[in-house]
A and B are shown apart, each in its own frame.
Chain A
Amino acid sequence: KQEVTQIPAALSVPEGENLVLNCSFTDSAIYNLQWFRQDPGKGLTSLLLIQSSQREQTSGRLNASLDKSSGRSTLYIAASQPGDSATYLCARYSGAGSYQLTFGKGTKLSVIP
């Protein structure tokens, strides 16, 4: 059974700081990975999808990378803003062509004004 681990569980940074969220997975298989944002009591907003053939994806101030050899993915947030405060979830697809996702427990980010 594959597992997804996110470190740290919580992070508090001052506004304007750049930060990195980490995600690691136990199996060595190469599948797609997706980062989500979840606001309290809300559903999930997709941030970035990295396909298994890709190394990174960028959207605005967000950059996600995938290192297949080490089983790790990072989400880089540049120039953080209070509106970035949320829980960030990393999820791996369960197999080639599969739509099933295995989620990490998330990193709760607080950006202090």
Chain B
Amino acid sequence: GNSVTQMEGPVTLSEEAFLTINCTYTATGYPSLFWYVQYPGEGLQLLLKATKADDKGSNKGFEATYRKETTSFHLEKGSVQVSDSAVYFCALSEDGGTASKLTFGTGTRLQVTL
């Protein structure tokens, strides 16, 4: 079956530091890949996505590249802010026809301090 593996957190960084959160996946076929972010007390929000190999998703300074050869979709940001503190989830989507059946990683908590 499909699976997503994320680096364990928490990740603690100082403001303006470089961020990498690793994500690797196992899937049959050609899934779409996503990063979602969950702020405290809220639901998940889509951060970025990539639908095929070598696609780069980007949003709000965050980037991730769909690497089929290494089955990875690592999240990066050049300079984090305190407001980026949240839990980040990597996910893949099987083509379920009329539904997106997302398989999530376990989430990585990011804490950014001044």
Do A and B pair up? The answer is no
